[in-house]
Structure 1
């Protein structure tokens, strides 16, 4: 950054650990050349005030000895100083209110952009969880628009044209669509809503994602309000004029007190007071102060990272859940840590390096039934029975009742194509339903027994957590 680039001095940057260390260190008090940059924004005013003090000094040292009237008279010098002492508190209050009002606008803008971060992250996270394998194109399109959402909002607030970063995220036809809209964030919101509507059929899931999109539009409106509404001109101008008049006449009161040191005192006071007023002016419009480009880059990076890691994360979770089924609950660690009521699971008894009170089964009933079937391998066909619950994307997750209804309705049909079409209406794989339905019924019976034995008095828990059977359909 150039030392004489006054506006760049007020441009924030993303704070690092080194910055925080410096802010806490005693070295923050050491002078540097930053004051030169600060002074470059209003140096003419400082020269003006110092020049007045010099002229008053020349008048008293050159003209007064030659017969010019001694003004202000020495006997009224102390009286002349009183108006400055009396009005200084009013000036201080005006400047404090002015600076606090500007800071409030700056902090609100930063808070709004924090919500933009959260909106884009939540949207891609929800899309990753709720978009099916057949919605890969919709997922990729949503990720790209979420990655570009920050750049779109920045361009809407600060510039007339999208930067090369956004152009690299969106396709040419999408850029053309954006250019045809006067309000680009609304265009982005409409595109995101259309993507969600086409890929998510469940109304509750769709409403949850639409809430995030609505928050993005609300954030754009909050930024517009800050950008298009300044602190009232009368507030700003009155404070500025008060400060200018106060510093202009201050040298008349300083001469009898400071003598030829008054020009230096006047310049220092002018630099400090004008600097405070200048801070309020600079941060009043926060979108040239906040590191917008860095924010947009982080938003894009986070969204693209979810898309890049989607496949590997799904495989990781699936494998981790498979291992979790046969883990036993942790009692109490020898060296403290989790207590007796902990729900943490460890490897089965005998795992090296782990000390725990063994328990014959997981505390979660669903894990117990599924773990027992996995551990003891009572019937190898049980592992293949999961295919009974293969569902079309519009139906979501199946239950055993779906498979029973399909079997009762469709198994009597003789024509193979008709039977297949019938099963399709239920969202099930007919071949698997007919082959493995009996095995799944065995597991359902065990599941119902678990619910009756362990949580029969907690209807709310059963409703929320234990029904329907938690097959994942893979």
Structure 2
């Protein structure tokens, strides 16, 4: 996702530089024919490109709105993933609190927190078609890693593991029936968010719709020099280039926004969101673990600050995915 407000000029127009070069040569040719060789019969009424431009403007506006709706829905879904991840961590830590050191409960908490972090990272990489082995190796044990690597949908496999652990926690008496239902609802919401992301990913924007708009745009650009050459003379060249650039940039913007999971600068910043979730969950787990050690073993309060809380330095990259 783009971070800097002062986006370089070269980045913006670099997306259409070849189209602009062709249009510049085309408009210059029309200007030379009209002004140097006096081919005055090549002009057409300016109303023709004006009407066509108005229609294309409406179509591009409608297409841009549709593309932005897809992008915003993706961002809205990942916002829900953040909330539900924090909710799950809070439920895991608070529902299973015990007045005595219980290794089974602490192992359950550790597995659930680690799996949720791995699930968040793996979901983003799954949507982008990338391998998630490195993050799985960091947060899963050997058996969990082997199970996750043996399936096509890694996030779904991790959800299955968390569901099994939830059942085990209820059978062991670490949580009651009501708490199990509430935590299962949280897992269901996360699964629902995953399904919504996959729907956006797998639903291709209608190609024919994009093709027809692009063909109409090319026709408009082709007719535009003939409509304005009579009124603007040689100034027709920069005018045609400027108008064409505006239309082409709007079209490119819609194309980039319509696919929010394609590892582009305009993507939903899934990796950045996953890092935020990782930081929040590890801090919560570290603080709670340290609090229990402080209660049961009378540790000094300062120990839980530096040892358990992870801190991330802010990145100054051009964009973060």
TM-score between both structures, scaled by the size of structure 1: 0.57
Q: Is structure 2 residue 108 aligned with structure 1 residue 143?
A: no
Deviation for aligned residue 1:230: 2.0
Deviation for aligned residue 1:132: 4.1
State how 1:20-419 maps to structure 2 within 5 Å. Answer: 34-64=8-38, 69-72=39-42, 77=44, 80-133=45-98, 134=102, 135-162=105-132, 164-200=134-170, 201=173, 202-287=176-261, 288=263, 289-313=267-291
Deviation for aligned residue 1:34: 2.1
Aligned length in residues: 283
State how 1:436-447 maps to structure 2 within 5 Å. Answer: none
Structure 1 residues 137, 214: CA separation in 2 closer, same or farther (over 3 Å shift)?
Answer: same
Deviation for aligned residue 1:269: 1.1
The runs of at least 4 consecutive aligned structure 1 residues that moved more than 3 Å come to: 311-318
TM-score between both structures, scaled by the size of structure 2: 0.82
Extract unaligned runs of 5+ from structure 1: 1-10, 14-18, 23-31, 319-474
Deviation for aligned residue 1:301: 1.3
SS, match of residue 286 in structure 1: coil
**2: distance between equivalents of 1:270 and 1:88?**
10
**2: distance between equivalents of 1:102 and 1:316?**
52
RMSD: 2.1
SS, match of residue 20 in structure 2: helix
SS, match of residue 42 in structure 2: coil
Q: Is structure 2 residue 5 aligned with structure 1 residue 12?
A: no
**2: distance between equivalents of 1:196 and 1:88?**
59
Contact 2:20–2:241 (8 Å) recurs in 1: yes
SS, match of residue 120 in structure 1: helix
Deviation for aligned residue 1:180: 0.7
SS, match of residue 161 in structure 1: coil
Extract unaligned runs of 5+ from structure 2: 297-321
* 1:46-86: CA deviation from partner (whole Å, max 9, x where unpaired): 1222212111111123322xxxx53136xxx5xx1111222
Structure 1 residues 105, 168: CA separation in 2 closer, same or farther (over 3 Å shift)?
Answer: same
**1: distance between equivalents of 2:227 and 2:153?**
56
**1: distance between equivalents of 2:123 and 2:258?**
19
Contact 1:151–1:163 (8 Å) recurs in 2: no
**2: distance between equivalents of 1:33 and 1:171?**
43
**1: distance between equivalents of 2:141 and 2:295?**
32
Contact 2:118–2:139 (8 Å) recurs in 1: yes
**2: distance between equivalents of 1:160 and 1:188?**
17
Deviation for aligned residue 1:218: 0.8
Deviation for aligned residue 1:182: 1.5
**1: distance between equivalents of 2:253 and 2:127?**
21
SS, match of residue 63 in structure 1: coil
**1: distance between equivalents of 2:212 and 2:294?**
63
**2: distance between equivalents of 1:165 and 1:230?**
29
Deviation for aligned residue 1:265: 0.8
Deviation for aligned residue 1:308: 0.2
Higher RCO (C-alpha 8 Å, min separation 6)? 2
